[in-house]
Amino acid sequence: MATMSAENNRPIGVFDSGVGGLTVWRQIAALLPNESTLYVADSINCPYGPKSAREIETLATGITEFLLAEGAKAIVVACNTASAAALSALRAKFDVPFIGMEPAVKPAARATRTGHVGVLATTGTLRGELFHHTRETYANHVTVHTQVAHGLVDAVERGALSGAETDALLAEYLSPLVAARVDQIVLGCTHYPFLMPQMRRFLGDGITLIDPAEAVARQVRRVLDARSARADGASVRHRFFSTGNTASMQTLLAHIAVPNAVIAPLQWDGNILRRQ
């Protein structure tokens, strides 16, 4: 019994190309308060969007190996681009449950009244098989308008959640979706929910923003329950790691009410992720 408890109390690993996956992490922490977590932000290689699928798979493999070495019992790929490029390969290579991201086109297609749905995402997500499969399966009866949002990930990585530059980018990328009469906009990158207050100011009340983070957290709960792998909450601990600027990550953690988090720096040694 003690052995099973110790096994169940291993942490959930979460990773992203940077700090964006914290929007998923906070939903997991809220829904599963008894669970410990490990979070890796690969900010030195952010953004993943322009990278090739092979590059992303190599990075995701290195991060996964680090998380498993730290004891992760399940891994959340809290990055739409990495999920599109690497999730299948990770599942084939590692004997641990993976929970990935996919643009929330299905609920958007169900909810739309105008028949027009917007997807704001990176190039890597929009060119991925996962997005095309989801759109063809659940949204073939509506018009899906896609918008690549260059620069928004970088703005969030810098902690620039507001200001003239960020507002100008949002206006540039949201205006075509408004003109297309969308009434649902899917946030297809985990960085974007940090910008929802600014997006809502621009869009007003007539357009719904869809953040899949809560659905991902519920899927994590389902996976743990299916394996009888829930922690008992006896010693909850959240650990954060970054390959890049820990100061901006600290700012965003404070923004989501984790004010005194300690962030351990990591560095890449070839394809191996190590503590500094």
Indicate if the alpha-carbon torsion angle 250, 256, 261, 263 is positive or negative: negative
CATH code 3.40.50.1860 region(s) in the chain: 2-100+214-275, 105-211
Architecture of domain 105-211: 3-Layer(aba) Sandwich (3.40)
Give the pLDDT band of residue 128 (cuts 50, 70, 90): confident
| 29 vs 204, higher pLDDT | 29
Q: Does 2-100+214-275 carry CATH code 3.40.50.1860?
A: yes
DSSP state of 44: G
pLDDT for 53 equals 93
Taking the C-alpha atoms of residue 5 and residue 9, their distance in angstroms, rounded to an integer, is: 6
pLDDT in tens, 20-50: 999 999 999 999 999 999 999 999 999 998 9
Active site residues: 79, 189
pLDDT in tens, 255-267: 898 988 999 999 9
Give the pLDDT band of residue 2 (cuts 50, 70, 90): very low
188 strand-pairing partners: 121
pLDDT for 3 equals 55
Q: What is the pTM of this model?
A: 0.93
43-52, 125-134, 220-229: which range is least confident on average? Answer: 125-134
- Side-chain-side CA neighbours of 146 within 13 Å: the count stands at 19
